[in-house]
Every structure is written in structure tokens, then in C-alpha cells.
Amino acid sequence: MGNSALKAHLETAQKTGVFQLTGKGLTEFPEDLQKLTSNLRTIDLSSNKIELLPPLIGKFSFLKSLVLNNNKLTALPEELCKLKKLETLHLNGNHLMQLPAAFGQLSALKTLSLSGNQLRTVPTQLCGLRHLDVVDLSKNQIQNVPDTVGELQAIELNLNQNQISQISVQISHCPRLKVLRLEENCLELSMLPQSILSDSQISLLAVEGNLFEIKKLRELEGYDKYMERFTATKKKFA
């Protein structure tokens, strides 16, 4: 892509606060963007070949949305965690194995998508995020859901298409969790904490494609309580 094209994109971004450059084969984060650190609210560099996010990402202090789906990122810089206004972070289809240690400092984060990466566990950093609504960790390599999940503030947690065979009973204690997606994992029915049904806020539990028949779920103690929540929620949105 020529310099003139990039220049045109930068001029538009200066006016709109949105920089979008997708599917252009970029191998690195455009350095020229640092001229707009105080202008930009949205950066979308999806479907490129970016391998590294430079430390200068931490300078975009007004950034609300960062979208880098389908790139080649293997790690994220700690500087990313300085983005105190960031509400939406989409990093689907990269090669991420973990999140920066200070990730819990992204205090405004509401939506986090990490589908199609190489995470092996539910990152504990997520538990510090008080405004998190939706977390998508589908299509990773997660094998178990640890005790720390009980502190997660999310309303929806998507763990579809992982390798989960164990879930901590603490998941029933998530204060705001309404939607839990566990489709296409490696769960035996005996490994699904019954308290999810009998004693949680969860009103939509999606567990198709595991190692048990769905009708067996209906025989578990607490299923009627779950159905009460499920039906009440359905009525509310009907």
C-alpha cells in the first residue's frame, strides 16, 4: 500500500477518530498513527499480517475500541494495559497463548473477544475487570476452568469448542453470569457442577456436543430451578 493511500486514511482518521485499514497485508502496526494518539477512538486493523503490537499502543489514551482480528499476534505488550478508556477489544484468530500480567488494569473494558487463539486456561486477569459484560474464549485450547472464575463479573462467557473436561464449582458464584456457553467440549455429565443449575444466576446454559446426552441433563437435581430462570428470562425478552 502506497504512502499516499496511508496519508489519506490518516487524514480521514484525524477528522472522524476512526482508523480502519483491513485486509491490506500490513506486517506491522502503522507507526504514523502515533501522530493521532489524542484523536483516535477506534482502530481496526483486522485481516492483516501484524505479528507485534508496539509499546506505543499505550499512548492512545482516548481509544475506546481496538480490533485486530485475524492477524499473527503471538503476544501483547504490557503497554496495552494503560488504555484506561478501552471498552472493546477484539483479537479473534491470532496466536495468543496468554494475556499481559497487568491486563486487569483495563478498567473500562466491556467486551473481550479472544476466539481462535491458543489460550490454555481462563486468564485470571479477567477477574479484576469490573465492567466486563461479554467474554468470548471459544476455539482455544482450554482444558479446565479454575476456581478464580468465581470472581468473574461477566454477563456472558463463551467457552465453546475448547477441550474442557473440568469446571470449578466456583462458576456458580459469578455474580452477574447469565449466559454460559460450553458447547463442543470434553465434559462428562458428572463433571458439570450441579450448582450451575440449582444455585447460580445462569439462565442460559449451552452444553450441546459434549460427552453426554442433553436429556440426561434434565434428570439432574436443580434442573427445574434452572428452567424457572430460563423461562423467566425468555419472557422478559419476548
How far is C-alpha 60 from the chain's CA centre? 21
The H or E element that residue 4 is part of is: helix 3-16
Alpha-carbon distance 166 to 163, whole Å?
Answer: 9
Tens of pLDDT along the chain (238 residues)? 567 778 888 999 999 999 999 999 999 999 999 999 999 999 999 999 999 999 999 999 999 999 999 999 999 999 999 999 999 999 999 999 999 999 999 999 999 999 999 999 999 999 999 999 999 999 999 999 999 999 999 999 999 999 999 999 999 999 999 999 999 999 999 999 999 999 999 999 999 999 999 999 999 999 999 999 999 988 877 6
Q: List phi, psi (to 5°) of 233.
A: -70, -40
Q: What is the pTM for the complete model shown? A: 0.96
Provide the CATH topology of domain 119-130+138-149+160-237.
3.80.10
Q: What fold is seen in the domain 1-98+107-118?
A: 3.80.10
Residues contacting residue 22 through CB under 8 Å, at least 6 positions apart: 44, 45, 46, 47, 48
- Domain extents in the chain: 1-98+107-118, 119-130+138-149+160-237
Domains 1-98+107-118 and 119-130+138-149+160-237 are alike in CATH topology = yes
